[in-house]
């Protein structure tokens, strides 16, 4: 084993207590965060380009809509069949609520070899909201590190994550409809 | 809620601080880098007469192994025509001739298979870049066929290999080891091509597997080994 | 003591988060100096595995229990964020002849330690501090980067083959819309704990430096033109003293110091003609210098190029995709067999995802794919043709002096979306034929120019049925392959059938049967297995697998790995906090 590996082990044995101490130090300073997985946390913004031939053009910066609209982020890929069932459901909701402050954004996890087909699928599903690509996987690694598909994130009008959900089933349509309607109502009530 | 979080973080700190402070590390294979071949020097001086090292001695007398610096376990395999060939030559009770046994300084074992495309490509280069180049320096080249792509590994297949790649040379031997019984220990299953260099008393001086190197690493190491003892190869 | 400590540490990490129950709560973060309002998140991925056999003739890496733990910690502030990933691995073997009791690692007899390559490990695999003031993105530590379509530089995660490489150092990005710039420098940090073989890959950092600048034009700022440069240094040997020795050990089969400099440009117009056409082009030139350690050998310089272009037309239901590639002697880092972890680029292959990588560094040709969606209506059909020459053994030879690859395929799909209570279904089917023939006379008298070098027939079908909360997914694939060996062809078949039942998105169970006759003499032919998955709230899930998996050659994202077969039981728990 080389020096580097031994060094790594020394670093890790120093780092962990240090990190834990940092976290411990942070506890008395502020109200406690929730134990839920990122629900309630602020959504980190990202900027990604639209897929070639997709429904929109140019780059989309989530920061433009954070704190204003109710946002839905959908991770999908051309090889994922349930994704192709989920996206049309949100397309309906988008058409219904876009004037009331709903933003929907789909991120394709396809790599450069299957990305060209994403536009074809977007057309067949008649999507009108932005469909973006993440070729260097940096955004996906942060927000959906296990690259599950489909994966949906709901963000409320204050920019906080309201729901994260893996998978899609037709039986969930009513829940999705009700949930989004509630978020829109909350936004427009303010 | 806050109590739970503190408990979790506290447990994390305690556990990992206690668990991680031990520096003891188990031995790793191949911890010895390439240039440490001098570990074998004591037994491989070219002037030492290879007399009866293995003949009549027992297993416990030797440091057997597959790693650099260890003695290779003696092996006996068939050539294409069925005659036996043994390695290492020195000290075997019935040594078989390839080059004059006393003048073999290093044996290069090239382990191959019919289904392994890089092995076939390297075989095309064997005569020109290995066998012929090092013939005058006491290097013999032994290729071992461990499997085919489907047909039986028999004399016809073996002979076809030799003639296809033009391998019939005085310092070359073609052997068969169907099922990897005696050579399988030197490489993980499927990681061919695999190459080995042993000196005349059986100490392993080089081992590689799993990568198509086009014989560059083997010839590189041979040059180093020959340089240690013979300056004419190194130009001074 | 150390082993007990590691066991305890991992056990604590696995069980303590589970003891904390998820609760609803207001989303409030902490306030930390420098970070501002901060959110903390921890994701623990624990994989407990009992490997019975991996069918590789090595009994010393069979029949053991292992725990793999990965912890992703992140502190996300307003502009600043810190993320750390810890990888830990603990194997626990049965009785070892030497110690007579449970042992961690190494139970091989002396001299055969090479067969016991499985050992424990704990390391901070990824550390990154990220600062994002307006228009800037600065990362100190580990970061990913892809220039264009990846021909010059592609550092990212390809989970299916267990390859995950970042650059560890500094990366700075500036993006103001019409103008962008990016620079990075550091060494390549590949994931050291190989999830496929459970072995440790030693750190052998290759140094990487890259820069990219560009401009975006047009009303939507989507017409993009960029220029980039990449410089890679890979050191084979080390002097006895100095920084080289401190950082890494030499890899025995690297016999030369290599440096490669690549410069290129990219042009992207994703929406021309009112969105009906998209166009992409990229060209790169590379100078590669190899300086052998052996002073008797001469160094070499190679000039290479890599040009790729794609155009897509869409009108009505018809979509046509044309791709062209011209790669010649273009190799950034060699990847073969064991060295899949040192691949820093991924040239688009123009092949189907299921195929082996061929001609990665030396190929010329293209592919055309036509898809038609019958609209209105649920049907869509597509056909495609691929043709290119490749010659990877001698990268300086012209690709059309090597092997000619031709591939045709067709696919059809139908979807039927249904409302609540009705039966919805989706069906996809595809089939194809691939043929590769020699364009030269291979060595020996056995095969000649024009003979088949490889031939594949492949087909697959998938049917998804869903109604209410239930859904069933049946999928079948099969490949008949024929590859030129030495005297004759090696024929084998690989495929599988699986049936997955899911209830909502909370539970799924999937029995499967796979088959492979590729190594019929040493490995089984049939591979039955069952996998079940429970998804809890908030991104946590438990996945259990039992049975056999054939593994095989998996190629994805420019990298191929030989995934070994597996027989045993696995349980994976992902918990987010």
pLDDT at A186 over 50: yes
pLDDT of residue B45: 31
Residues of the domain holding A128: 38-189
Determine which of B2, B9, B22, B30 to mutate to test the interface with A (most A C-beta atoms within 10 Å). B9
Read out DSSP for A16-75? HHHHHHHHHHHGGGSPPPPSSSSTTSBPPP-EEEBPTTSSS-SEEEGGGTTTTSEEEEEE
Mean pLDDT value of segment B49-59? 49
* Domain boundaries along the sequence of chain C: 1-15+38-122+505-577, 133-302+330-341, 349-493
Domain co-membership, A7 together with A83: no
Instruction: Using CB atoms, pick whichever of B1, B6, B31 lies closest to residue A1.
Output: B31
pLDDT of residue C113: 63
Domain co-membership, A19 together with A52: no
**Within-domain flag for B2:** no
CATH of the domain at B83: 3.40.30.10
pLDDT of residue C56: 73
pLDDT of residue C121: 81
CA-CA distances (angstroms) from residue C375 to A51, C63, C237, C378? 22, 56, 62, 7
**Within-domain flag for B230:** yes
pTM greater than 0.90: no
Residues of the domain holding B152: 64-167+176-184+191-236
pLDDT of residue C29: 60
pLDDT of residue B31: 29
Digit-coded pLDDT (tens) for B67-99: 788 888 888 899 999 998 888 776 566 666 565
Give the count of alpha carbons within 13 A of B25, CB side only: 17
pLDDT of residue C17: 41
pLDDT of residue C375: 66
How confident is the prediction along chain C (577 residues), in pLDDT tens digits per residue? 334 444 444 444 444 443 332 323 333 467 777 778 788 888 888 888 888 887 776 777 777 888 888 888 888 888 899 999 998 888 887 655 444 444 544 566 666 666 676 777 888 889 999 998 888 999 999 999 999 988 999 988 877 777 788 999 999 999 998 999 999 999 988 877 777 777 777 666 689 999 999 999 988 888 999 999 999 998 775 544 444 444 444 444 456 788 999 999 999 998 888 878 999 999 999 999 988 777 767 788 989 999 999 999 988 888 899 999 999 999 876 654 445 567 788 888 888 878 887 888 899 999 999 988 886 668 889 999 999 999 987 888 999 999 999 999 999 998 887 766 788 888 999 999 999 999 998 877 788 999 999 999 999 999 999 888 888 999 999 999 999 988 889 899 999 999 999 988 789 999 999 999 988 777 889 999 999 999 887 668 899 999 998 887 777 766 677 777 888 998 988 887 6
Digit-coded pLDDT (tens) for B157-206: 999 999 999 999 988 999 999 878 888 888 877 778 899 999 888 889 98
**For chain B, how big is the Rg over CA atoms in Å?**
22
Task: Return the structure tokens found at B44.
Answer: 């491989």
Domain co-membership, A121 together with A177: yes
**For chain A, how big is the Rg over CA atoms in Å?**
19
pLDDT of residue C463: 93
**Within-domain flag for B100:** yes
Chain C: residue whose CA lies nearest to B64: C111
Residues in chain A within 8 Å Cβ distance of B13: 16-17, 20-21, 24
pLDDT of residue C506: 86
pLDDT of residue A77: 92
Domain co-membership, A97 together with A139: yes
Determine which of C275, C316, C386, C543 to mutate to test the interface with A (most A C-beta atoms within 10 Å). C275
Q: Helix crossing, A3-26 with B2-20: angle to 10°?
A: 160
Digit-coded pLDDT (tens) for B16-37: 444 333 333 232 222 222 222 2
How close C447 gets to chain A, by Cα (Å)?
Answer: 33
- Reported confidence tier of residue B108, pLDDT bands at 50, 70, 90: very high
| Percent of chain B scoring above 70 in pLDDT | 65
- Reported confidence tier of residue A48, pLDDT bands at 50, 70, 90: very high
Note whether C535 contacts A: Cβ–Cβ < 8 A: yes
Whether B119 contacts B109, CB under 8 Å:
no
pLDDT of residue A128: 95
Indicate if the alpha-carbon torsion angle C110, A5, C203, C560 is positive or negative.
positive
User: Which residues does C71 contact at the CB level (< 8 Å), separation at least 6?
Assistant: C13, C42, C43, C44, C45, C84, C85, C86, C88
- Reported confidence tier of residue B51, pLDDT bands at 50, 70, 90: very low
User: Which residues does C134 contact at the CB level (< 8 Å), separation at least 6?
Assistant: none
Count of structural domains within chain A? 2
Residues in chain C within 8 Å Cβ distance of A58: 220-222
Q: Verify cis geometry, omega within 30 degrees of 0, for the bond prior to C376.
A: yes
How close C28 gets to chain A, by Cα (Å)?
Answer: 5
ipTM of the complex model: 0.79
pLDDT of residue C134: 86
How close B37 gets to chain A, by Cα (Å)?
Answer: 17
Rounded Cα–Cα distance for residues C561 and C337 (Å): 7
Count of structural domains within chain B? 1
pLDDT at A16 over 60: no
Stronger pLDDT, C542 or A25, i.e. the higher one: C542
Note whether C27 contacts A: Cβ–Cβ < 8 A: yes
Across the interface, whether the CB atoms of A27 and B25 are under 8 A apart is answered no
How close B16 gets to chain C, by Cα (Å)?
Answer: 5
Q: What is the dihedral of CA C238, C244, C246, C248, to 10 degrees?
A: -80
Residues in chain A within 8 Å Cβ distance of C462: 81
**Within-domain flag for B218:** yes
pLDDT of residue C165: 87
pLDDT of residue C158: 78
Domain co-membership, A15 together with A48: no
**Within-domain flag for B17:** no
pLDDT of residue C65: 85
Chain A: residue whose CA lies nearest to B9: A20
**Within-domain flag for B84:** yes
Rounded Cα–Cα distance for residues C529 and C566 (Å): 10
pLDDT of residue C100: 45
**Roughly how many angstroms between the first and final C-alpha of chain A, as a whole number?**
61
Closest CA to A23 of C118, B4, B6, C312: B6
Domain co-membership, A100 together with A18: no
Rounded Cα–Cα distance for residues C286 and A123 (Å): 38
């Amino acid at each position: 084993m080389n020096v580097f590996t031994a060094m790594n082990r020394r670093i890790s044995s120093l780092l962990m207590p240090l990190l834990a101490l940092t976290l411990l130090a942070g506890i008395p300073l502020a109200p406690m965060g929730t134990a839920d997985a990122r629900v309630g946390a602020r959504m980190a913004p990202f900027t990604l380009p639209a897929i070639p031939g997709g429904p929109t053009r140019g780059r989309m910066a989530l920061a433009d809509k954070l704190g204003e609209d109710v946002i839905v982020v959908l991770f999908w890929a051309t090889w994922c069949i349930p994704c192709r069932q989920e996206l049309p459901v949100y397309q309906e909701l988008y058409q219904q609520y876009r004037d009331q402050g709903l933003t929907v954004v789909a991120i394709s996890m396809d790599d450069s070899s299957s990305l060209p087909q994403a536009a074809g699928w977007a057309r067949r599903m008649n999507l009108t909201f932005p469909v973006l690509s993440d070729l260097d996987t940096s955004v996906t690694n942060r927000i959906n590190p296990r690259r599950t598909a489909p994966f949906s994130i709901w963000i409320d009008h204050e920019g906080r994550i309201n729901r994260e959900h893996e998978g899609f089933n037709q039986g969930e349509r009513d829940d999705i409809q009700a949930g989004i309607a509630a978020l829109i109502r909350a936004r427009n009530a303010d | 809620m806050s109590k739970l979080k503190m408990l979790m973080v506290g447990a994390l700190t305690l556990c990992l601080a206690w668990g991680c402070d031990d520096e003891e590390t188990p031995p790793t294979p191949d911890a010895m880098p390439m240039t440490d071949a001098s570990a074998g020097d004591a037994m491989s001086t070219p002037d030492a007469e290879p007399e009866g090292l293995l003949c009549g001695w027992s297993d416990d007398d030797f440091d057997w192994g597959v790693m650099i610096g260890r003695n290779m376990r003696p092996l006996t395999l068939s050539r294409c025509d069925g005659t036996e060939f043994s390695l290492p030559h020195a000290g075997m009770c019935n040594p078989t001739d390839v080059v004059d046994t006393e003048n073999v300084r290093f044996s290069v074992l090239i382990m191959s298979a019919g289904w392994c495309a890089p092995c076939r490509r390297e075989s095309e280069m064997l005569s020109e870049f290995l066998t012929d180049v090092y013939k005058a320096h006491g290097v013999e080249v032994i290729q071992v066929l461990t499997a085919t792509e489907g047909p039986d590994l028999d004399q016809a297949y073996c002979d076809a290999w030799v003639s296809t790649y033009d391998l019939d040379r005085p310092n070359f031997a073609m052997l068969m080891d169907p099922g990897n019984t005696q050579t399988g220990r030197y490489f993980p299953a499927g990681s061919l091509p695999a190459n080995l260099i042993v000196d005349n008393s059986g100490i392993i001086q080089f081992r590689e597997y799993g990568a198509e190197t086009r014989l560059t690493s083997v010839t590189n190491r041979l040059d180093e080994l020959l340089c240690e003892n013979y300056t004419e190869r190194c130009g001074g | 003591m150390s082993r007990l400590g590691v066991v305890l540490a991992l056990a604590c990490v696995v069980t303590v988060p589970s003891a904390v129950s998820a609760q609803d709560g207001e989303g409030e973060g902490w306030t930390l100096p420098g970070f501002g309002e901060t959110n903390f998140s921890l994701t623990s991925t624990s994989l407990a595995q009992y490997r019975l056999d991996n069918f590789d003739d090595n009994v010393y890496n069979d029949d053991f229990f292992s725990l793999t733990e990965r912890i992703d910690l992140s502190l996300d502030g307003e502009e600043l964020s810190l993320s750390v990933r810890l990888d830990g691995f603990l194997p626990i073997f049965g009785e070892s002849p030497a110690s007579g009791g449970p042992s961690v690692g190494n139970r091989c007899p002396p001299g055969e330690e090479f067969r016991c390559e499985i050992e424990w490990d704990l390391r901070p695999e990824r550390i990154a501090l990220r600062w994002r003031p307006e228009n800037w993105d600065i990362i100190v530590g580990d970061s990913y980067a892809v220039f264009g379509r990846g021909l010059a530089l592609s550092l990212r995660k390809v989970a299916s083959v267990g390859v995950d490489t970042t650059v560890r150092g500094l990366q700075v990005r500036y993006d103001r819309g019409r103008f962008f710039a990016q620079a990075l420098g550091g060494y390549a940090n590949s994931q050291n704990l190989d999830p496929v073989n459970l072995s440790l890959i030693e750190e052998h950092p290759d140094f990487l430096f890259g820069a990219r600048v560009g401009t975006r034009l047009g009303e939507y700022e989507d017409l993009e033109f960029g220029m980039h440069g990449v410089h890679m240094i890979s050191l084979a040997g080390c002097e006895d003293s100095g920084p080289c020795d401190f950082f890494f050990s030499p890899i025995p089969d690297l016999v030369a110091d290599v440096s490669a400099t690549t410069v290129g440009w990219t042009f992207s117009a994703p929406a021309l003609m009112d969105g009906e056409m998209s166009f992409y082009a990229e060209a790169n030139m590379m100078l590669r210098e190899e300086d052998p350690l052996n002073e008797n050998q001469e160094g070499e310089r190679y000039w290479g190029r890599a040009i790729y272009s794609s155009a897509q037309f869409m009108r009505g239901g018809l979509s046509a995709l044309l791709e062209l590639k011209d790669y010649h002697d273009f190799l950034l880092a060699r990847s073969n067999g064991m060295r899949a972890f040192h691949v820093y680029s991924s040239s688009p292959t123009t092949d189907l995802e299921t195929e082996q990588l061929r001609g990665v560094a030396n190929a010329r040709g293209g592919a055309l794919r036509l898809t038609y969606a019958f609209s209105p209506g649920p049907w869509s059909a597509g056909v495609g043709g691929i043709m290119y020459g490749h010659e990877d053994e001698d990268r300086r030879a012209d690709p059309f002096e090597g092997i000619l690859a031709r591939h045709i395929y067709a696919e059809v799909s139908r979807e039927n979306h249904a409302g609540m209570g009705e039966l919805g279904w989706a069906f996809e089917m595809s089939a194809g034929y691939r043929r590769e023939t020699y364009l030269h006379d291979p060595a020996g008298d056995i095969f000649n120019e024009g003979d088949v070098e490889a031939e594949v027939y492949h087909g697959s079908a998938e049917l998804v049925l869903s109604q209410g909360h239930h859904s069933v997914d049946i999928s079948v694939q099969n490949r008949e392959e024929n590859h030129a060996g030495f005297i004759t062809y090696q024929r084998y078949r690989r495929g599988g059938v699986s049936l997955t039942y899911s209830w909502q998105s909370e539970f799924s169970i999937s029995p499967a049967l796979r088959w492979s006759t590729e190594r019929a003499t040493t490995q089984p032919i049939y591979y039955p297995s069952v996998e079940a998955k429970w998804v809890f709230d908030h991104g946590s899930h438990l996945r259990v697998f039992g049975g056999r998996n054939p593994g095989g050659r998996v190629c994805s994202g420019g990298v191929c790995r030989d995934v070994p077969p597996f027989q045993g039981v696995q349980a994976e728990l992902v918990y987010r906090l």
